[in-house]
Each structure stands twice: as C-alpha cells, then as structure tokens.
C-alpha cells in the first residue's frame, strides 16, 4: 500500500512542488475510502431490501432525516450515485478537475460531519493562467488510486492509517521547516502512547493536533491491549490552527474509523474551542507537540486570557513553550496526565543564572508543586523541522504517594538508528523507556530518579543529560595491575608462538 501511494505521488511529480502533493492526493484517497465504504454499506442494504433502487431511496431518505433530527444514519456517509468513485474514474478527461471539485463539495454538503475535509482543494486551480495539475496528469493520478479498493472488506483502518502516515512522512521529508507543523515522528507517538496507556471511557486531547497522528496512537494502543472492547475506547479531541492541516487531521480520523472524534479549527493559545463555564475543558490525558519556541505570543496573550490558564507566569514573547505547558496543565482533570514534546532548551534555559528568567521561574513552580513526573531526552535528528533532539515532559496531577518529591529523568539519546534523511527511535528504546517509567527505576546509562533537593541545587534544570551519563566511563587502574596484565599477555603470546612453531614443523614433514 505504501508503494501504491508513492506511485500516486510520482504521477504528478514535476507538475507541482513536492510538499503540495498532499493537497491533491490526500483528499482523493479519502474520497475513495468514503465512496468504497458507502458502496459496501449500500450492498448490504440492497440485500436487506431486495433491490438496489429501493435501498438507494431508503438510504437517501434516512440520511436526510438523520441530519434533521441529529441522529446516526444507517450509513456512515452518503455518496450520491452520480458522484461515486467510478463516476470520477470514468469521467471524460476534459473537465475532470472541475467535476472532481464539484463532486467533493456536493458530498461534503450532504455530510455535515465532513465539513472542512473536501472543500479546500480546487482541482481546477490555476496559477499564472495555467492549470496547477492538468487533466492529463489528474487522469493518470485517478487511475493509480483506482488500483485498490478501500472498502470495509478490503483494508482495515489501521493499515490504511499507517499507509496514510507513510505518505505524510514522505511529504515531510521534502517540506523542510514547515513539516513539523503537521507531523510528529511515528515512533515518538508510539512511545507517548505506551506511556499514556489510556484507561477505558476516557478522553484524550491534543491542543496542537496537526495531522492527528499523535492523537490517534493512544487509542490504537488501547485497541491492541483491549481487543473486542472498541466501544470503551478513549474519545479524541483536537484543535489545529492551519486549515489544510485541520482537514488532514479530520480525514485521518475518518480513515481510522474514529467517527466519534472532535477536531476544531482555530488558535488554541488565544481562543481554545473546548471550554466549559468560561474555563478550558478538562481531559484525562493530553498529548501535544506544539511548535517549539514560538515567538508570536506577547504579554497581552497571557494577560488578556479569560480562561484562568496562565496563573504561574508569563513566558517570554520569543519562547511560548511554558505557556503551552500551562494551557495543558489547565486542561487536565484532577487525576489527569500529559506528555508534551518540546525543544530541549525548555527544560534547561535560565538554570545557569541567578538572575530572573521567565522560563526558569515557571519551571520552578511546576517542580516545587510536584507537577512534573519526568522528562525523556530523545535522540537527535528525529524531527522533520530541526536536528535538535527534543524532550518529552511528563505531567501528572495525581502523582502516586511513593513518587511525591521525585522526578524520573530518562536519557534515551543513544536509542536510534540512522535513517535517510532522519534518525529513527528504536523499538528497543521505546521498550526500555516504558519499562523504567512503569517501574520508576534508576538504570545505568538510561534513567535516574532525582529528588527535589537535587533539582533545586541544579537551579531547576530538568535536562536528563545533566543527571544520566550515557558515555562509557574511563576506568583508572594502578600501574601494578597494568604491568601484571602485560606480563600475562606476554606469556600467553609466547605459548601461542611455540604451539604455532610445532604445527608448522609437522606440516613440513
């Protein structure tokens, strides 16, 4: 499936910049999934009602009534017969782009839940009076995507979701600095999901959800650990600032068949969409990878906040990391836990100075009030928009009594394999980090349980590299021991030379 998706991307290579491939391909893959799933559900209805025309009429009437009365329709999504995938595939080449655009907008109009997913891309788009993707290439692209059915009988949501992420990763590799806006490395997401390990009937929130893959992984882990209990799976909530990325996130949720997910559009920092009684809604778990070191939130963004989020200090205008941490803390229930991916500087800046430092002072509050559970240092060059290693800050509103006043610092810097163009966090690393976290364990060259007093002495530097040395230690030995070992080695060499001489002598006989 990955090769199939990449073949689709190659069909339009040269007609548009590589980072823009996703804008054309992802909605088409999504649309095909919708159409194929609808065809599967339509066939079931046709068998039940004894005929296709009767089934189609019933589905259409039921869908209209479901929208009117705000209930679940008999089919997931309604795709009119004239806009099904085959109608796109066999449409004449001339006017194909215009027809696809119309089909997507009509299907979105009939399915309010798809709002924002199919209406962004104009397949008839022009730049400098030239088509961005002409109908010839579009026809070729449609034909490649048509190779495989994406219905309920043909591929499960997990496989399709992983293939979808593969394509996003390929786009990210060509997108440079902006890639980090919509994609967190898959293995980092799996590590967070294993540590979060959500309970049944809980809610998970990502205030900067990007493409949604960081948000989906804890639910996938739940499904793996609780087979047959999908009805108890955590519900997912996310907010995203960028319209295109928001659309990708919504498509991702539908492809995973997580239809109870709620994704909103907007700037979470200034206008969070999940609120209750003029405060931010609180969740069981928060996972997030906000853009690192954001410089677009000045003092006004904190002082004018009406949601009581920024009670512990105003972060620097050029460094919003601990502003995001405060929002995430406010978004947790009384027993809630969070995992936040940030730049390594977020846990160390200001620690080497006695002077006032906004970041360090907020960090001090979080440490002194025992909000931080641990920090994980990741390998370098994992992320698409930087070579910096990054850290995961673990927060816990209800630390177990035996962990009060303790902080687990984990240095996973060496757990990677070199990739092209990015390194990859290993499965061995994910397992090792999860083990020491679950066991609250000090392990040589990996982790250390640190006391509050030690962090005070370090001026609230939470960097694992300051407390966990992963380098090989130099062992100093006495001269006498070294001379003894040399003498033993010399004797062994003489014996070996003697044995070799005897073997050679016998060979000459």
Could you state, in chain order, the average pLDDT of each consecutive group of 10 residues for the chain (509 residues)?
A: 76 59 83 93 90 89 92 91 96 96 95 87 88 89 91 76 72 58 83 97 96 93 94 97 89 87 96 96 97 90 94 91 97 98 94 83 96 97 87 97 96 93 94 97 96 95 93 64 73 74 71
Distances 28 to 31, 97, 162, 375 between C-alpha atoms, Å: 5, 12, 17, 40
Beta bridge mates, 16: 13
What span, in angstroms and rounded, lies between the C-alpha atoms of 501 and 225? Answer: 64
Tell me if 328 sits within 8 A of 338, measured CB to CB: yes
What span, in angstroms and rounded, lies between the C-alpha atoms of 268 and 246? Answer: 13
What span, in angstroms and rounded, lies between the C-alpha atoms of 120 and 186? Answer: 26
CA torsion angle for 492, 498, 499, 500 (degrees, to 10)?
110
Which H or E run contains 252? Answer: helix 243-255
> Would you state the pLDDT for residue 181?
56
What span, in angstroms and rounded, lies between the C-alpha atoms of 178 and 386? Answer: 10
> Would you state the pLDDT for residue 184?
86
Tell me if 332 sits within 8 A of 397, measured CB to CB: yes
Using alpha carbons, select from 153, 156, 146, 189 the residue that is nearest to residue 256: 156
What span, in angstroms and rounded, lies between the C-alpha atoms of 366 and 310? Answer: 12
> Would you state the pLDDT for residue 8?
78
> Would you state the pLDDT for residue 255?
83
């Amino acid at each position: 499936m990955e090769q199939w998706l990449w073949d689709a991307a190659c069909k339009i290579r040269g007609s548009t910049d590589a980072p823009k491939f996703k804008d054309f391909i992802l909605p088409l893959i999504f649309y095909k999934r919708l159409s194929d799933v609808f065809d599967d559900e339509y066939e079931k209805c046709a068998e039940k009602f004894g005929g296709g025309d009767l089934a189609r009429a019933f589905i259409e009437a039921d869908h209209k009534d479901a929208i009117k009365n705000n209930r679940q329709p008999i089919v997931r999504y309604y795709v009119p017969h004239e806009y099904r995938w085959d109608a796109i595939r066999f449409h004449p080449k001339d006017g194909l782009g215009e027809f696809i655009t119309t089909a997507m907008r009509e299907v979105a109009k009939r399915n309010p839940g798809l709002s924002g997913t199919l209406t962004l891309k104009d397949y008839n788009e022009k730049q400098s009076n030239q088509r961005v993707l002409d109908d010839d290439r579009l026809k070729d692209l449609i034909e490649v995507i048509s190779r495989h059915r994406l219905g309920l009988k043909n591929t499960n949501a997990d496989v399709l979701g992983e293939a979808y992420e593969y394509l996003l990763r390929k786009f990210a590799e060509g997108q440079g600095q902006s890639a980090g806006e919509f994609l967190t490395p898959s293995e980092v997401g799996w590590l967070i999901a294993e540590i979060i390990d959500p309970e049944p009937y809980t809610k998970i929130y990502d205030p900067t959800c990007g493409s949604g893959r960081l948000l989906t992984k804890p639910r996938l882990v739940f499904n793996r650990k609780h087979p047959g209990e999908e009805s108890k799976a955590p519900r997912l909530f996310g907010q995203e600032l960028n319209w295109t990325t928001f659309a990708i996130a919504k498509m991702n949720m539908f492809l995973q068949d997580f239809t109870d997910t709620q994704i909103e559009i907007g700037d979470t920092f200034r206008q969070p969409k999940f609120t209750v009684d003029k405060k931010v809604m609180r969740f069981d778990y928060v996972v997030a990878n906000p853009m690192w070191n954001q410089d677009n939130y000045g003092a006004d963004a904190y002082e004018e906040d009406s949601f009581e989020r920024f009670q512990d200090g105003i972060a620097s205008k050029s460094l919003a990391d601990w502003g995001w941490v405060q929002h995430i803390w406010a978004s947790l229930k009384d027993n809630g836990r969070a995992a936040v991916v940030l730049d390594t500087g977020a846990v160390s800046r200001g620690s080497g100075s006695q002077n006032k430092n906004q970041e360090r002072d907020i960090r001090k509050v979080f440490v002194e009030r025992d909000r931080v559970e641990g920090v994980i240092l990741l390998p370098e060059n994992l992320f698409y928009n930087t070579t910096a290693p990054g850290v995961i800050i673990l927060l816990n509103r209800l630390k177990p009594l035996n962990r009060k006043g303790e902080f687990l610092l984990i240095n996973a810097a060496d757990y990677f394999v070199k990739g092209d163009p990015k390194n990859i966090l290993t499965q061995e690393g994910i397992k090792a980090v999860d083990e020491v976290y679950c066991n609250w364990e000090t392990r040589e060259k990996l982790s250390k349980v640190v006391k509050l007093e030690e962090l005070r002495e370090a001026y609230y530097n939470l960097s694992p590299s300051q407390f966990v040395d992963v380098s090989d230690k130099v062992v100093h030995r006495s001269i006498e021991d070294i001379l003894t070992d040399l003498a033993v080695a010399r004797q062994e060499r003489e014996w070996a030379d003697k044995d070799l001489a005897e073997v050679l002598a016998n060979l000459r006989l």
